[in-house]
Amino acid sequence: ETGVTQSPTHLIKTRGQQVTLRCSSQSGHNTVSWYQQALGQGPQFIFQYYREEENGRGNFPPRFSGLQFPNYSSELNVNALELDDSALYLCASSLELNSPLHFGNGTRLTVT
Amino acid sequence: GNSVTQMEGPVTLSEEAFLTINCTYTATGYPSLFWYVQYPGEGLQLLLKATKADDKGSNKGFEATYRKETTSFHLEKGSVQVSDSAVYFCALKDSGAGSYQLTFGKGTKLSVIP
């Protein structure tokens, strides 16, 4: 059984640029959540997608957006990058909305 | 709003020592409580959970009891190993309909030395 995989593992971008992070859910999982983990902090909820629709959103500005595809893989897009967007971005999938989360290893984004 | 407070780290222990990591929470309802572990370079793994008051979650020698009266969910292990070195996160999920997000504490880094 393949777990949650994220790509790329590391990324360096310049302030003002745009970035797309990708996530492949665990097989059979129809729900995906994205979290931002700043250095030395706990993960913060960005949003969740269920069957291709956004199902909830945390306290993040609209320049953070996402997509979930028919195969339940997902993208996180961030526009107009700011220095404070530097963080580890974690994707987590679950079998259903209230099932346990399975996390990927994350994408480390550095904004310079 | 919901919040989770964990004891400040880092925590350094000798192998076979007793471990306690304190966690208290604030929530509007009756949340489910979790402990996640993050090994270096990896994502989070669910360690244990409890869904109602007085429940005890346990896994790999770790235990935590859901204490509603003290709004706490302290993590304990009787004898730590070097392989337990990691960052531990306490988290909650609200019980309301449509509750879908986890609220995490800041994490406690544990280092176990031989």
d(C-alpha A46, C-alpha A48), whole Å: 7
- Residue for token digits 């304190």? B22
CA–CA gap between residue A13 and residue A21 (Å, rounded): 12
Within 10 A of B53 (CB to CB), how many other CB atoms are there?
12
pLDDT for res A71: 87
pLDDT at A1 > cutoff 60: no
Residue B51 has pLDDT above 80, yes or no: yes
Chain B residue whose CA is closest to A45: B101
Residue A66's identity, in one-letter code, is G
Residue B44 CA, distance from chain mean position: 12
Mean pLDDT over residues B16-35, rounded?
A: 94
Q: Quick one: average pLDDT of B102-108?
A: 95
Mean pLDDT for A58-77 is: 95
Q: Which residue has the higher pLDDT, B29 or B102?
A: B102
Closest residue to B106, CB basis, from A41, A45, A92: A41
Outline where DSSP puts E strands in A14-73: 19-24, 31-37, 44-50, 53-57, 64-68
B100 touches chain A (CB under 8 A): yes
Residue A85, helix vs strand vs coil = helix
**pLDDT given at position B1:** 83
State the pLDDT at residue B97: 61
pLDDT at position B98: 64
Cα–Cα distances in Å, from A25 out to A54, A56, B102?
A: 16, 18, 18
The chain-wide mean pLDDT, for chain B, equals 93
Rounded to a whole number, what is the distance in Å from the CA of B85 to chain A's nearest CA? 16
Predicted pLDDT of residue B99: 64
Q: pLDDT tens digits for A55-64?
A: 889 999 999 9
Mean per-residue pLDDT, B92-101: 76
Considering only CB atoms, which chain B residues are within 8 Å of A105?
41-43
What pLDDT was estimated at residue B9?
85
